[in-house]
């Protein structure tokens, strides 16, 4: 057992950072035994030094994060400040000055993961970021290490707790979107500005990271198709129920059937109640992985919060410290497959389309003809008429998103189609 401690610099001491510091103290003996050397909190960079930070020696607190990562005696920098800058510069500076990095920064990894991995490799250091995707749930290392001998074909997950809380509330109470969002805000599940969550930006960053690791290829945030969930209505949930489904905001990363390309997308979708993801309630996250040899796997747990996210950070910290002691590094970026990321139009799935139409002879035939002309095969049609108007619900067989988009554009041009009330993809069947 080495007695000289490994020195850790903590960048950020908010909800996650303060939990990391707390667990480092309360679990110090176990961490020492597991790593093979003590770990010492050598500095904590914060924006507001005046805030009381229970359990942290005030002498360790600094506002000069740059000086901290440049010290030269730091073994591991833990970055939990989030955002692109100054996090990116601090991480690269940390590598240049001999430290490995543990980060929880999904936005940065989704945007600049390749450059950061290259910087880590250039300096022979580790870059670990288990906490960047789905909080406490072990995903990055299972995909990167445990499944390294398998071939992953699809990763489909609920990777945003705020939106899952809102959708679950709508499902269980019949509430509309705004009412459910208001409750999520009041309970602290949604931020005052919920845009990043409800518009799918947060989930898209996580999808980019997961797709890149799962398919050994580079997938950036810009490659991920994104649709938020603000348009989902109580009527959509009623339709979903009639089909034996619920609605979830899903991040879906897929290898094309021919294996030559991949896609990554985030959007609300209907999934059958029998699918394991349908039972993920409240603010929980879960990721369903399908691979050649293992078959189907599901990873489930809390996807946010100080303590769960700190659990993932601490797991990385132990791994990186062990690597330091054996003068090794863990696996870096694996992008050898270099598969192109196909546009959304190439995605093939099923669709649930709800139309408001005139209730008169020939309308159903007209609508069916438009589907046929675009090569989209209809699975079921359900019609409910009232006072000369009708609601027509069409569920299709599998078709490309491009074909479905063409179909909907043509439907909108029909005089007898008063409006397209909703289009929802149907996944997980
Ligand atoms: N806002 C995110 C969520 C937190 O609701 O899941 C974790 O990224």
List pLDDT tens digits, range 310-342. Answer: 999 999 999 999 999 999 999 999 999 999 999
The ligand 1 atom at the shortest distance from the C-alpha of residue 163 is: 5
14 in a known ligand binding site: yes
The ligand 1 atom at the shortest distance from the C-alpha of residue 190 is: 5
Protein residue whose Cα sits closest to atom 7 of ligand 1: 304
The ligand 1 atom at the shortest distance from the C-alpha of residue 160 is: 6
pTM of the model: 0.96
- The reported pLDDT for the residue numbered 52 is 75
162 CA → ligand 1 middle, Å: 6
259 in a known ligand binding site: no
The ligand 1 atom at the shortest distance from the C-alpha of residue 309 is: 7
DSSP secondary structure code for residue 377 in this structure: P
Q: Which residues line the pocket of ligand 1, CB cutoff 6 A?
A: 160-162, 197, 202, 303-304
Within its chain, how far is the Cα of 275 from the centroid?
Answer: 19
163 CA → ligand 1 middle, Å: 9
Q: Which domains does the chain have, with CATH numbers?
A: 6-134+306-325 (3.40.50.720), 140-301 (3.30.360.10), 345-426 (3.30.70.260)
17 in a known ligand binding site: yes
113 in a known ligand binding site: no
What residues in the chain have per-residue pLDDT under 70? none
* Neighbouring-strand partners of residue 395: 352, 380
Active-site annotation, residues? 206
Which pairs from 377-386 meet CB under 8 Å and 24+ separation? 379/350, 382/242, 383/359, 385/359, 386/359
- The reported pLDDT for the residue numbered 254 is 98
Q: What is the Cα–Cα distance from 11 to 86, expressed in whole angstroms?
A: 10
The CA distances from residue 269 to 63, 233, 304, in Å, are 44, 12, 22
386 in a known ligand binding site: no
Mutate to test the pocket of ligand 1, among 160, 193, 203 (most ligand atoms within 8 A of CB): 160
Sheet holding 76-79, edge to edge: 61-62, 39-45, 6-11, 76-79, 100-103, 127-128
Mutate to test the pocket of ligand 1, among 134, 161, 206 (most ligand atoms within 8 A of CB): 161
203 CA → ligand 1 middle, Å: 8
- The reported pLDDT for the residue numbered 196 is 97
354 CA → ligand 1 middle, Å: 31
- The reported pLDDT for the residue numbered 386 is 76
Residue recorded with tokens 């007695």: 3
The CA distances from residue 428 to 14, 203, 317, 393, in Å, are 37, 18, 35, 20
């Amino acid at each position: 057992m080495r007695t000289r401690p490994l020195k850790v610099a903590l960048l950020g001491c908010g909800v996650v950072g303060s939990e990391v510091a707390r667990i480092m103290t309360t679990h110090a003996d176990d961490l020492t035994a597991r790593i093979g050397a003590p770990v010492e909190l050598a500095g904590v960079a914060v924006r507001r030094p005046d805030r009381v930070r229970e359990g942290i020696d005030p002498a360790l607190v600094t506002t000069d994060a740059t000086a901290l990562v440049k010290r030269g005696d730091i073994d591991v920098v833990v970055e939990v400040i989030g955002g692109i800058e100054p996090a990116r510069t601090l991480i690269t500076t940390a590598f240049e000055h001999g430290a490995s990095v543990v980060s929880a920064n999904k936005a940065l990894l989704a945007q600049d993961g390749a450059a950061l991995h290259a910087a880590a490799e250039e300096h022979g250091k580790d870059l670990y970021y288990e906490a960047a995707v789905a909080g406490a749930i072990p995903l990055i290392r299972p995909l990167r290490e445990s499944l390294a001998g398998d071939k992953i074909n699809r990763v489909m997950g609920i990777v945003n707790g705020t939106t899952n809380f809102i959708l679950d509330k709508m499902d269980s109470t019949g509430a509309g979107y705004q009412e459910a969002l208001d409750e999520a805000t009041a309970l602290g599940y949604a931020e005052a500005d919920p845009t990043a969550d409800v518009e799918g930006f947060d989930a898209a960053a996580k999808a980019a990271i997961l797709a890149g690791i799962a398919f050994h290829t580079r997938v950036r945030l810009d490659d991920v198709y994104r649709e938020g969930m603000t348009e989902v209505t109580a009527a959509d949930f009623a339709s979903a129920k009639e089909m034996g489904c619920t609605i979830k905001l899903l991040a879906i990363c897929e290898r094309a059937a021919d294996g030559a390309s991949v896609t990554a997308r985030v959007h609300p979708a209907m999934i059958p109640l029998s699918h394991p993801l349908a039972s993920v309630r409240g603010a929980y996250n879960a990721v369903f992985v399908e691979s050649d040899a293992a078959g189907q796997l599901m990873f489930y747990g809390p996807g946010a919060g100080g303590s769960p996210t700190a659990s993932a950070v601490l797991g990385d910290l132990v791994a990186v410290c062990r690597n330091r002691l054996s003068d090794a590094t863990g696996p870096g970026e694996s992008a050898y497959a270099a598969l192109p990321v196909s546009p959304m139009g190439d995605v093939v799935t099923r669709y649930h389309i709800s139309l408001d139409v005139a209730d008169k002879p020939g309308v159903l035939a007209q609508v069916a003809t438009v589907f046929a002309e675009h090569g989209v095969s209809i699975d079921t049609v359900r019609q409910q008429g009232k006072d000369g108007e009708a609601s027509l619900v069409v569920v299709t067989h599998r078709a490309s998103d491009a074909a479905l988009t063409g179909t909907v554009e043509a439907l909108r041009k029909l005089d007898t189609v008063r409006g397209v009330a909703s289009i929802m993809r149907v996944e997980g069947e």
